[in-house]
Amino acid sequence: MTRGDASTRPILVVGSRAQLPAAGSELKRLASVAPSELHATLAAAGALVLLEPSEFPIEGLLGIDLDIPIILSLHAPASGGRLEASPAVESLLRELTPFDRVAVASEERWRALRDRFLLTEGQRIPSAEPSEIVKETSDLLSCLGPSDIRDEKSAYRTRRDALDRVFAAAAKLISRDGELTALEVCSGVTQCAGLARRYGMSFTSLDPNPDYAQGVRQSQSESRSVETSGAADLSMQVACADLVSCVNTLQHCRDRDRGGLVQEMWRVLAPGGWLVALEEMVPRHGSGSYLGAADFETAMVEGTGGGAVLEHFEALRYPLDDLHCAGLALCSKVSGTSDAVRVHGLSLTSTSESQQELGYGSRG
């Protein structure tokens, strides 16, 4: 898919019985589409609005790099009975991101969907009216300005999938009494709250921006959101978290502050816990903030006082990029493996448990 301003592309609307607003250049009713033409049709669209999901081959959306916003309307049937989502719709719900929306008028129905599919309050359109759903879609596209929502959504999905593997491995491998405690630093809109819910962890997000902190409180009601006085002041107790993460955070720190932030994350990390950092290490599209590999290593080594054991490193490529632009590093405070020889945390004699859980290392 090519880059471009999503707000200049048409909004495809599926729903033969739905009454749409007065026709405009941005709206295009999609009556039918052959599976072989689905990818090309959606590639030219700005968003896909499914007012009547049963009229669309949703199975064709699964397993492809579909990075336009999807707005899914799940209104109650006219009989007032319980709405049963098809297996395809349920699979699609599991794939939604903060760039997608679910239109549900019923508060009870929304809470059930939110809890089951790990949705956030910000993803909800609290209306079943087609005109309101289309308006919300237009607003979603226009608020991004010249940025490309495809690029943002594809990058988000790549980071989410990588972090999902980390959280799944942590749930199995980190020793603890009771539930695991996860902490995300400078979380912004947070990529980890839903993952913590999925794997039964308590979750706290920290951010010095009060608007972001308030947004997390509103969208993730089960999570704790704390405002901090600065990036290097986490205002948390020593060894209070089993899993500490940051996403695209270190790259935005000033050089003199980066080591202090890692030091704070290391301080609040409990023995046996994991410190996870995901950063962009190559400038994307020729510009933007990034953290070079040498600076990444320096921050992790100096911030942890040399005490971190590198359990896993993974290079990530976003679907619309040609290069592997991001890197994910996982360090343990006390290694849970028994490798005979380690150099900078990389096993020379066997594959560590964390590498096995994350799908890396030799298979023997």
Residues 6+ apart with CB under 8 A from 169: 354, 357, 358
Q: Which distant-in-sequence residues (6+ apart) come within 8 Å of 83 by Cβ?
A: 74, 75, 76, 77, 109
Q: Measuring CA to CA, which residue among 68, 33, 28 is closest to residue 47?
A: 68
* Spans of the chain below 50 pLDDT: 1-2, 77-82, 146, 336-351, 360-364
d(CA 220, CA 203): 10
Residue carrying structure tokens 């336009």: 68
**Hey, where are the domains in the chain?**
6-142, 149-357
CATH of domain 149-357: 3.40.50.150
Nearest CA among 129, 141, 125, 122 for reference residue 12: 141
What pLDDT score was predicted for residue 337? 40
DSSP letter at 308 equals -
Query: Rounded to the nearest 5°, which phi and psi values hold at 228?
Result: -115, 160
Is residue 295 classed exposed, middle or buried when 0-12, 13-18 and 19+ CB atoms within 10 A define those classes?
middle
Q: What is the pTM of this model?
A: 0.80
**Encoding tokens for residue 117?**
């599919």
Which among 239, 242, 226 is positioned nearest to 185, based on CA atoms? 226
What distances in angstroms separate CA 139 from CA 11, 69, 100, 101, one per listed residue?
A: 12, 12, 12, 12
Determine how many CB atoms are found less than 10 A away from the CB of residue 111. Answer: 13
